[in-house]
């Protein structure tokens, strides 16, 4: 039995509007077909690298991590863009891949058409990287098709001098019109430079019968119609090919085939999950846990004097109450220290206190974080958990180890200032988080219907047949199963049948990227050593964005902090400013929480504009509940 060939150039769902392969389905396919190694080569990013590695390795399959990156050069006075494929041979190579992929975005100029690097940067960060050149529609192949042979030969020779034995010339046979002419030139360059050939295949979809659906998906990204003649159109050969298909296709190039089969033996690294990596928080060489304990105890003394003792009646046992608070504090500090989260609390406390000292309103605390006495003592929250009977274990439980997560609300007008403070305090260690917009059932029908040229009214009619439930969106298949009108339309109209067939194949793929509304990650070192970075040109914040989504960012060791912008806090801030014109000593923290007129207003349900109490459901609950004390709310 012959050795297995490798599909080195998988374009997963992270190749936006290009790759139609979902990683989980790919893993299942590899498992079922006893595939031992597979390579990721998403266009313009490394977003799927960690997820791809983790899922494949779990099934005993070797992941090979690469990316298709754009190169930009001035060729004979004309700016030229084209791709090259880079693979991480070892850990140094992976670090360099992260660096190059990040720089392709972070160094982006306004007039650039694509995220890109130049050849000099590639040479600078070449160590540990294997480069494949010459694939279809790549930097050198496009120039060779335009007869820039001399330029290509000279530049490829320079790359060979730098990469030595870590460079291959790709031969691809997708039955594309330009490939035969290109192949002759590539084989000659290989012969003249002694760079080995390697057989590869760009894989955009798993099975050949997905070709037409993928063609429509390309049109979604290119904003074209399927029936347009002058548009990007691939052949039907970009599927996951088996070993026997490779061997038939490249029978006349046994060396190229052998180099493909042996490629996996040259790879000895893949990215792995990491424990949380927080920046060190030290003062005068003190241990982080000791700093937390000292700050918490100092904060508790202040809180007791200001808020607890003044409301005690004469019969209260002050010593007993003090002991309760200190027992709870010592317990929490012990748990936090054992779970190694002291640094997390100190970082959150630091930027919250900075915001408060710079007159940026901060929310009093919401969610389970309000159950922590340490958080109250560090001024992270403004709610006394003992007074209100809040439980610490809902927030942090030693029997269920997961990162603590404070949802911190900031005045909407000052939120960006706080993020900038964090960026300056931890230079090159702070980023926002990318999000990926999926083709959900309705969106899939709308997008595919548009590129197929169907009337908008008819597509809209179909979309409205899909039940709308934001809490649990139904898949297209589930919707068809419970909606007879969709079944009828599919049965009676071949065009609708085609639309639904394509949409079923493409549903769940990524169609666009955006930035997480509140999440910011902080690492213990320059972020481009841990994750690839992206630049959102529409963002008002001068910080990068991770190419990894939230889950992969956390798996890579980054810790997420939520900076929520809340308009209500802005309104409160302005209200206080008005009040203080007449009452300069007004202090929001000392307002009466037992004011009956306020409870009467709440009980009436007239709460439009009051945060979290303005929805129709909450207003109805208030009318029925008739709250008369703070705990009721």
Q: Give residue-wise pLDDT tens across range 412-444.
A: 999 999 999 999 999 999 999 999 999 999 999
Nearest CA among 336, 333, 340 for reference residue 280 = 340
pLDDT mean over 275-302: 88
Write down all domains in the chain, each with its CATH number in brackets. 9-204+239-266 (3.20.20.140), 288-429+558-568 (no CATH), 438-513 (1.10.10.1600), 592-632 (no CATH)
Checking 316-319 for CB contacts under 8 A at 24+ apart, the result is: none
Residues 458-474 have a mean pLDDT of 87
Contacts made by residues 602-608, CB under 8 angstroms, sequence distance 24+? 602/627, 602/633, 603/627, 603/628
- Strands 545-546, 129-133: pairing is unpaired
Element (H, E) at 386: none
Span 76-112, pLDDT tens digits: 999 999 999 999 999 999 999 999 999 999 998 878 8
DSSP letters along 166-179, please? Answer: SEEEEEE-S--TTH
Q: What is the mean pLDDT of residues 338-342?
A: 90
Q: 560: which strand partners?
A: 521
Q: DSSP characters for 309-370?
A: GGG--TTS-HHHHHHHHHHHHHHHHHHHHHTT-HHHHHHHHHHHHHHHHTT--B---BGGGG
- DSSP category for residue 111: T
What length does the chain have?
Answer: 633
What is the percent of the chain where pLDDT is above 70?
Answer: 99
β-sheet bridge partners, residue 408 = 563
pLDDT of residue 536: 76
Residue by residue, DSSP assigns 410-453 as EETTTHHHHHHHHHHHSTT-EEEEEEEEE--HHHHHHHHHHHTT
The answer to whether residue 1 scores a pLDDT higher than 60 is no
Q: What is the pLDDT, as a whole number, of residue 471?
A: 75
Q: What is the mean pLDDT of residues 473-488?
A: 90
Average pLDDT over residues 101-126: 93
Q: What is the mean pLDDT of residues 370-380?
A: 95
Strands 545-546 and 430-438: parallel
Residues 6+ apart with CB under 8 A from 291: 281, 282, 283, 342, 346
* Strands in 30-164 per DSSP E: 37-43, 62-75, 78-88, 129-133
626: CB partners within 8 A, 6+ apart = 603
* Alpha-carbon span 91 to 51, nearest angstrom: 17
pLDDT at res. 293? 95
What was the pLDDT predicted at 405? 83
27 has pLDDT over 80: yes
Measure the N-to-C terminal CA separation of the chain; round to a whole number of Å.
Answer: 71
Please tell me the predicted confidence (pLDDT) of residue 406: 87
- pLDDT beyond 80 at 581: yes
pLDDT at 79: 93
Tell me the C-alpha distance between 560 and 344, whole Å.
Answer: 10
Q: Quick one: three-class SS letters along 79-91?
A: EEEEEEEEEECCH
Tokens 């399959």 found at = 61
The model's confidence at residue 410, banded by pLDDT at 50, 70 and 90, is: very high
Of 397 and 175, the one with more pLDDT: 175
Paired with 562 in beta bridges are: 407, 519
Averaged pLDDT for residues 515-541: 88
Q: Tell me how far apart the alpha carbons of residues 370 and 364 are, in angstroms, rounded to a whole number.
A: 8
Q: pTM (2 decimals)?
A: 0.91
């Amino acid at each position: 039995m012959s050795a297995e060939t490798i599909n080195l150039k998988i374009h997963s769902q992270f190749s936006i509007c290009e790759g139609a392969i979902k990683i989980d389905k790919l893993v299942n396919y590899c498992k079922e077909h006893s595939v031992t190694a597979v390579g990721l080569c998403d266009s313009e990013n490394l977003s799927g690298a960690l997820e791809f590695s983790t899922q494949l390795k779990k099934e005993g399959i070797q992941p090979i991590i690469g990316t298709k990156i754009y190169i930009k050069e001035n060729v004979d006075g004309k700016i030229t863009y084209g791709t090259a494929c880079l693979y991480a041979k070892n850990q140094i190579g992976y670090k360099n891949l992260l660096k190059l992929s990040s720089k392709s975005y972070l160094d982006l100029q306004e007039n650039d058409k694509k995220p890109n690097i130049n050849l000099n940067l590639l040479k600078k960060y070449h160590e540990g990287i294997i480069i494949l050149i010459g694939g279809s529609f790549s930097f050198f192949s496009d120039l060779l098709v335009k007869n820039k042979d001399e330029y290509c030969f000279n530049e490829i020779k320079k790359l060979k001098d730098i990469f030595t034995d870590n460079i291959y010339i790709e031969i691809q046979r997708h039955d594309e019109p330009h490939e035969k002419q290109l192949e002759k030139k590539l084989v000659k360059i290989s012969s003249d430079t002694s760079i080995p050939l390697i057989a590869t295949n760009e894989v955009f979809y798993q099975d050949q019968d997905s070709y037409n659906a993928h063609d429509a998906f390309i049109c979604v990204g290119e904003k074209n119609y399927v029936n347009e003649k002058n548009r990007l159109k691939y052949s039907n050969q970009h599927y996951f090919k088996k070993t026997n298909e490779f061997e038939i296709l490249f029978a006349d190039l046994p060396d190229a085939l052998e180099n493909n089969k042996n490629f996996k033996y040259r790879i000895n690294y893949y990215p792995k999950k990491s424990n949380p990596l927080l920046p060190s928080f030290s003062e005068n060489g003190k241990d982080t846990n000791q700093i937390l304990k000292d700050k918490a105890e100092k904060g508790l003394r202040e809180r007791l004097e200001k808020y607890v003792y003044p409301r005690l009646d004469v019969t209260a046992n002050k010593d007993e109450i003090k002991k309760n608070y200190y027992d709870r504090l010592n317990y929490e500090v012990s748990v936090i220290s054992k779970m190694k989260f002291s640094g997390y609390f100190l970082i959150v406390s630091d930027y919250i206190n900075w915001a408060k000292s710079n007159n940026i309103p901060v929310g009093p605390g919401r969610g389970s974080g309000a159950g922590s006495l340490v958080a109250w003592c560090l001024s992270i929250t403004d709610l006394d958990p003992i007074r209100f009977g809040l439980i610490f274990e809902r927030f942090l439980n030693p029997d269920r180890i997961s990162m603590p997560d404070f949802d911190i609300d900031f005045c909407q007008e000052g939120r960006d200032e706080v993020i900038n403070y964090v960026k300056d305090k931890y230079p090159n260690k702070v980023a926002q988080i990318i999000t990926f917009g999926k083709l959900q059932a309705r969106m899939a029908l709308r997008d595919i219907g548009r590129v197929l040229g169907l009337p908008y009214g008819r597509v809209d009619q179909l979309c409205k047949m899909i039940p709308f439930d934001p809490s649990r969106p139904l898949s297209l298949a589930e919707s068809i199963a419970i909606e007879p009108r969709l079944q009828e339309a599919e049965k009676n109209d071949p065009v609708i049948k085609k639309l639904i067939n394509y949409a079923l194949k493409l549903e769940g793929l990524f169609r666009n990227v955006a930035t997480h509304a509140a999440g910011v990650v902080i690492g213990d070192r320059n972020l481009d050593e841990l994750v690839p970075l992206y630049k959102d040109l529409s963002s008002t914040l001068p910080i990068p964005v991770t190419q990894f989504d939230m889950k992969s960012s956390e798996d890579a060791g980054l810790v997420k902090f939520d900076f929520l912008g809340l308009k209500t806090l802005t309104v409160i801030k302005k209200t206080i400013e008005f009040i203080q014109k007449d009452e300069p000593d007004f202090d929001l923290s000392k307002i009466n929480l037992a004011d009956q007129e306020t409870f009467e207003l709440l009980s009436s349900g007239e709460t439009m504009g009051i945060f979290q109490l303005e929805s129709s459901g909450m207003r109805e609950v208030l009318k029925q509940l008739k709250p008369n004390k703070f705990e009721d709310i």
